[in-house]
Structure 1
Amino acid sequence: MLAERTTRYPLVLVPGLLGFIRLLGYPYWYGIESKLRSLGFQVYPVRVSPLHASEVRGEQLLERIQALLLETGADKVNLIGHSQGALTARYAAAKRPEWIASVTSVSGPNHGSELADYCQRQAPVGTWRERLFAWAMRSTARWIGWLESGAIGPTLPLDARACGESLSTAGVALFNHRYPQGLPEVWGGEGAEEVAGVRYYSWSGTLQPGLTNRGGNLFDGPNLACRLFAQTFTREIGQCDGMVGRFSSHLGKVIGDQYPLDHFDSINQTFGLVGKGADPVGLFIEHGRRLAEAGL
C-alpha cells in the first residue's frame, strides 16, 4: 500500500465560538484530528478565547503559531478555521502572511451571521436582555475554560459583547474592510485563491430536509437547535446551516457550499451524529490531500 501523501506544513485547527481543544477528553474536532494523524498529517488543534472579538482571538493565534514554528521547525502552517475560527485565521494571515501557507474556512461567517444580527435585535446593547445573554455566554465560556483538558496556559479573556459585534453583519463588514484577503468581489462568487503568498479555500453546508434531519441527526440535539436558528434568517432563508449562510461562507476557492451539513456537522459533532450521507471527516481528509498536491 502506498503511504499517504501529507502536507509540507502542519495543519493548525482553529475553533469557533465557545470552542475548545478537548473538554474532559472530548475533542472539538471529533474524529477529524485523530483520523488525519493516523494518515500521517501533522495536526495541531489550538486554544484561543472561546468568547471574544476575532482580532483578539487572532492575536492569541499568532502567539500559538509562533510557538509551533519554533517547536516543529516548520517555516509556515496551514490554518483551518471553523465558524469564528475562520475569521481568526484570516486575521492571522493578514498580519503575518509569511507564517501562513493557507487559510481554509469551514462554515465561516465571512460576511457575518444573520443569527448574530437576530440576537443583537432581540437583546440591544444596554438592556436587561443583553446583560442576561452576556452573563449566560460568559458562564458557558468559563465552564469551558475550567473543563478544558487539551491545553495548559493562562486564563484567556472573555468579552460577550465584543464577540457578538464581531460576528454580526455590520461587525464583519468592518473586519472585511481591514482584512479583505480572499473575499469575493460579488455576492455568492469566489475570491482570489492566492493573496500575498497565502492560499484561500472554503467549504460549508446547508440544512436539507430528508438529509440533514435524518441519519444520526435524528438523535442530535444541536441539529434541532440549528433548525430553530435557521428560522431567524431572512437574506439566506433556506440557504444556511443554521448559523451561517451559504454565500456568507464564501472565501477564496469555494470547494463546496451545499454539503448536507448543519453548523455542528461540519466538525463531526456531536459524537459523529451527522445527517444522512454526510462525511465531514472525509472532507478534511480530501482537503489534506488537496493541500499536499498544492505543495503546501
Structure 2
Amino acid sequence: MSANAPRYPLVLVPGLLGFIRQLGYPYWYGIVSALRRHGATVFPVLVSSVNSSEVRGEQLLERIAEVRQQTGAAKVHLIGHSQGSLTARYAAAMRPEWVASVTSVAGPNQGSELADYLQGKAPHGSLRERLLAMVLRGIARCMALLETGYKGSRLPMDVAAAQQSLTSAGVAAFNAKYPQGLPATWGGEGAEEVAGVRYYSWSGTLQPGITDQGGNRFDGPNRACRIFARTFVREAGHCDGMVGRYSSHLGKVIGDSYPLDHFDIVNQTFGLVGKGADPVKLFVEHAQRLHAAGL
C-alpha cells in the first residue's frame, strides 16, 4: 500500500443493471486500475443488477464481510454509483462499525425524475409495465451470462422493486428509514459524519457545448442521457440525464456540476467522455482525500 493510499479498502458498488466485468470489459472503466496504481486496495463487487436497494444492501453486507475477512481490515470505504449509492447507504446504516465512509457518485438520493416519468407512463399492473419488466429482465439475464468478474451464486431479480426504489416516492420512504448524511434542506449539504461514518458525494450535469463534444460525439449512452433529460421538470437543465444535480447531494458535496453525464461519471463507454472531462481523476483525488482524513 502506498503512503498516500486510504487506510481501508475501497468497495465499488454498481448501479441498476450493474456488473463487474462483461466479457472482460469493466463497469469502472480505467478507475480500478488507476486507484490501484496509486496504492489503494480496491474491490469492485456485484449485487443484484435489478432489485430493491434494501435487497442489494443485504447482499453488499455479505460482500463487505468477505472483504474484511480477506484483508483483515476492520472497515471499508463504500463508493456507490447511481443506485449503488442507496445500496451503500443501507449497508452503512445497518453496520456502521464496518464502514469508514460512503461516497455517492451520481446517486439518486432524493429519487430520479426519469424513474417517476417511467412509472407514470407504465403504471403498476399495466401492459406497458409488463413489457418494460420483460425487457429489463431479458437484459439482466443476458448480462448475467456475460459476467466474468463474479463467481458466486445466482442473484435474484425484482424489476418492480427496482423501479419503485428509484422513484421520488420510493426514495422518500427509504430516506425516512435511513436518513444518514442527507441534507436538511433541498440543495444543501448533509452531515459529514454520522455514527462514525463519513459521507461524501459528487455528480455531473449535461452541459451543451461540453458534454456533447469530445468522445461523447461517438457515445450512444450520452445521446440516451440527452433524451432522458427531457423528462426532468424540477431539475430541468440541471441533471446528468438520469439523476438531478441537487437530488444527488449527500454529506459533503465535493461537486455537483462536473461536465459528465450519468455514464461518463464512471468513465463509460470505453472512456468516451465529454470535452476536457476526467472522471478517473475524481476517483484518484477522492482516494487521496480519504487518506488525508486518516481513513
* Shorter-chain TM-score tier: over 0.9
Other-structure match for 1:62: 61
Give 1:195 shift. 0.1
Q: Does the residue aligned with 2:142 lie in a helix, a strand or coil?
A: helix
Cα distance in structure 1, aligned partners of 2:207 and 2:180: 30
Cα distance in structure 2, aligned partners of 1:184 and 1:255: 14
1:135 matched to 2:143? The reply is: no
Other-structure match for 2:177: 178
Q: Which amino acid aligns with 1:214?
A: Q
Cα distance in structure 2, aligned partners of 1:32 and 1:65: 20
Other-structure match for 2:84: 85
Give 1:277 shift. 1.1
Give 1:68 shift. 0.8
Q: Within 5 Å, which residues of 2 pair with 1:6-21?
A: 6-21=5-20
Other-structure match for 2:47: 48
Q: Which amino acid aligns with 2:123?
A: P
Q: Which amino acid aligns with 2:194?
A: V
Q: Within 5 Å, which residues of 2 pair with 1:151-190?
A: 151-190=150-189
Give 1:12 shift. 0.3
Cα distance in structure 2, aligned partners of 1:35 and 1:289: 12
Cα distance in structure 1, aligned partners of 2:17 and 2:84: 10
Give 1:67 shift. 1.0
Given that residues 77 and 99 in structure 1 are in contact (C-alpha distance below 8 angstroms), is that contact kept between their aligned partners in structure 2? yes
Number of equivalent positions = 294
The percent of aligned pairs where both chains have the same amino acid is 71
Give 1:26 shift. 0.2
Q: Which amino acid aligns with 1:110?
A: N
Cα distance in structure 2, aligned partners of 1:4 and 1:255: 23
Q: Does the residue aligned with 1:101 lie in a helix, a strand or coil?
A: strand
What CA RMSD, in Å, does the superposition of the two structures yield over aligned residues? 0.6
Cα distance in structure 1, aligned partners of 2:13 and 2:142: 19
Q: Which amino acid aligns with 2:141?
A: R
Cα distance in structure 2, aligned partners of 1:16 and 1:112: 13
Q: Deviation per CA, 1:27-49, whole angstroms, max 9, x where unpaired?
A: 00000001111111100000100
Given that residues 212 and 274 in structure 1 are in contact (C-alpha distance below 8 angstroms), is that contact kept between their aligned partners in structure 2? yes
Other-structure match for 2:34: 35
Cα distance in structure 1, aligned partners of 2:195 and 2:143: 36
Other-structure match for 2:288: 289
TM-score (norm 1): 0.99
Q: Within 5 Å, which residues of 2 pair with 1:113-262?
A: 113-262=112-261
TM-score (norm 2): 0.99
Moved over 3 A (4+): none
Cα distance in structure 1, aligned partners of 2:209 and 2:288: 30
Stretches of structure 2 that go unaligned for 5 or more consecutive residues are none
Given that residues 207 and 262 in structure 1 are in contact (C-alpha distance below 8 angstroms), is that contact kept between their aligned partners in structure 2? yes
Given that residues 219 and 273 in structure 1 are in contact (C-alpha distance below 8 angstroms), is that contact kept between their aligned partners in structure 2? yes
Q: Which amino acid aligns with 2:103?
A: T
Cα distance in structure 2, aligned partners of 1:253 and 1:148: 34
Q: 140-149 vs 220-229, which deviates more? A: 140-149
Q: Which amino acid aligns with 2:83?
A: Q
Q: Does the residue aligned with 2:124 lie in a helix, a strand or coil?
A: coil
Q: Does the residue aligned with 1:173 lie in a helix, a strand or coil?
A: helix
Given that residues 4 and 39 in structure 1 are in contact (C-alpha distance below 8 angstroms), is that contact kept between their aligned partners in structure 2? no
Cα distance in structure 1, aligned partners of 2:110 and 2:141: 28
Stretches of structure 1 that go unaligned for 5 or more consecutive residues are none
